[in-house]
Amino acid sequence: MKCNRANTTLTFSAALAGLALAVLTPAAYGHGNNPKTADAEFAGNPPPPPPPPPPAREYSFEDVHFDFDRFTLRQGVTRILDEVVAAMNDDADLNLEIEGHTCNIGTSEYNQALGERRATSVRDYLTSRGIPAGRLRTVTFGEERPMHDNAREETRRLNRRAALVVRLQ
């Protein structure tokens, strides 16, 4: 089979025409082979909205309980606080308010100070595990906000606590 110069030129011209067509198609502009997407984008329609953000995380931590007239952490309470450390390491927007509480035995002034020492004890544990102090805030309520009845020892002891209140930035 012979090839003459005219055929060669024609074949070359046809190849160039095909290349020009490929350059001008939507696929050449990165729109893929989906004509619906290409048509919508060329028609000036906005792209579809992005997917919704993931749902907000919910946090709930157990209270840290203390013995009568004490502010040192009980044995076993580190499990609760280590869960707090893990959550705070996972979520940089998570901050805590640590509320110090007492039962109603003692003077109001004494209980205010004891509540502050309890909250500080919890804060000190968290900072010793690498949580920045700026993400923690302590507040004391002393005997002012009992969660349980102070009339009976069985429930009064549950008011000797530090509550961990979540604050998200």
Query: How many angstroms separate the CA atoms of 161 and 119, rounded?
Result: 9
Cα(143)–Cα(147) distance, rounded to whole angstroms? 10
Torsion of CA 119, 67, 70, 130, to 10 degrees: -40
User: What's the number of CA atoms in the CB half-sphere (13 Å) around residue 131?
Assistant: 27
Architecture of the 64-168 domain: 2-Layer Sandwich (3.30)
- 58-108 residue pLDDT tens: 889 999 999 999 999 999 999 999 999 999 999 999 999 999 999 999 999
What mean pLDDT is reported for the chain? Answer: 82
For residue 164, is pLDDT > 70? yes
Q: What pLDDT shows up at residue 28? A: 46
For 9-34, the DSSP string reads HHHHHHHHHHHHHHHHSGGGGT-TT-
In angstroms, the Cα distances linking 45 to 28, 30, 37, 49 are 19, 17, 10, 12
**Residue 131 and residue 85 in contact, taking contact as beta carbons nearer than 8 Å:** yes
Percent of the residues in the chain that have a pLDDT greater than 90, as a whole number = 62
Q: What is the pTM of this model?
A: 0.67
Lowest mean pLDDT among 15-24, 35-44, 139-148: 15-24
Continuous segment of H or E residues that includes residue 74? none
Q: Calculate mean pLDDT across residues 39-62.
A: 78
User: Structural domain boundaries of the chain?
Assistant: 8-42, 64-168
Instruction: Inform me whether the pLDDT recorded for 38 exceeds 70.
Output: no
pLDDT score of 24: 46
Specify the pLDDT at position 14: 41
C-alpha span between 167 and 169 (Å, rounded): 7
Give me the pLDDT at residue 36, please: 55
Q: Tell me the pLDDT tens digit for each residue of 105-137.
A: 999 999 999 999 999 999 999 999 999 999 999
Instruction: Convert 28-47 to b/e letters by CB count within 10 Å (16 or more is b).
Output: eeebeeeeeebeebeeeeee
